[in-house]
Amino acid sequence: MTANGLRAGLIGLGSMGRHHARVLAGLDGVRLVGVVDPMGDKNGWAQGAPVLSTVEELISLGIDYAVVACPTALHEEVGLKLAEAGVGALIEKPVADTVEGARRLVEAFESRGLVAGVGHIERCNPALRSLRTRLESGELGDVFQVVTRRQGPFPHRIADVGVVKDLATHDIDLTAWVTGQEYRSIAAHTVHKSGRPHEDMVSAIGQLSDGTMVNHLVNWLSPLKERFTSVTGEKGCFIADTLTADLTFYSNAAVATEWEALRAFRGVSEGDMVRYAIPKREPLLVEHELFRDAVLGKSDDICTLRQGLRTVEVAAAVLESAADGVTVRLDNSGGAA
């Protein structure tokens, strides 16, 4: 760190890297001093920062931390180089493409006392941040079920992983994060319809450590783009639309009804609906601000590598379940039992 703030680097100028470059270039207290991409910067996305060919060149510039936005298969190799050089890292999700690789990254950074995090950006979505706060304050009472749907067309930026590691990891992490619970078991089915080597649709059902049921439907085969999270509990249901960052609450009815057909129903019935007015800041900017503050020792509100590891472990369990046709149980640390 210099008098001008933290010195940051970026590795990868692809579909996510260019957005990281934009945010880093305007981030208070941070200077983007170099970008690594062997393909160069033919689109001008580096925001004027020097474009380098290797991670070693970036490290030699004396950076305080780096954002790793290269293909998932390279996360482990790049992360280990940064850790060995004593450089902190914000690694795009998933933290690694294998459980073993994620564990090696956790060990490398934790053993050196370095600040490192994973870019699970849904944690910075305004609707989900508000939802988590409301769940923590008990506004829903006991939580019964979390349901997520994440659907849309195939993202052409993806070539090295399937829909489970690319998209379902969002839902796995946000579910554990908003509820404060770990996955206890998972059962899943996948399909391959697009001719690519990896799965392009998954349906999973699981249970969290407190007994909460979870359901995830994820695909990149749909012309409909949807980012839906619902949390149902004893006092009603929260619905978060993370595309629009809207959060809505549907309460259980508190008023008696004289309609005989409804009165005969012994469960809950429809009550008030509230759509909350919440500040809608760009999630990627919030993610960078939180990580910057963590590097400065001002905050610890980031997705840690160890939490990112747990998400990779659950994703691996989803794929194991789909391949073997069994329910996979996970131990207390998140790994398959």
Check residue 335 and give its pLDDT.
64
Question: For 36-47, how does the pLDDT look when each residue is reduced to its tens digit (9 = 90+)?
Answer: 999 999 999 999
* Mean pLDDT confidence for 69-78: 96
Tokens of 242: 């993370």
Residue owning tokens 């990868």: 12
Task: Identify the weakest region by mean pLDDT among 193-202, 250-259, 305-314.
Answer: 250-259
Q: How many CB atoms lie within 10 A of CB 312?
A: 28
* Measured distance CA(20)–CA(16) in Å, rounded: 6
Tokens of 252: 């259980």
Question: For 176-223, how does the pLDDT look when each residue is reduced to its tens digit (9 = 90+)?
Answer: 999 999 999 999 999 998 888 889 999 999 999 999 999 999 999 999
* Mean pLDDT confidence for 90-117: 97
Residue owning tokens 């829903």: 140
Question: For 279-299, how does the pLDDT look when each residue is reduced to its tens digit (9 = 90+)?
Answer: 999 999 999 999 999 999 998
* Measured distance CA(77)–CA(89) in Å, rounded: 13
Number of residues that this document lists for the chain = 337
| H or E stretch covering 269 | none
Band of pLDDT at residue 125, cut at 50, 70 and 90? very high
* Mean pLDDT confidence for 107-118: 98
pTM: predicted TM-score of the whole model, two decimal places: 0.92
Residue owning tokens 């019964």: 144
- Residue 258 pLDDT exceeds 80: no
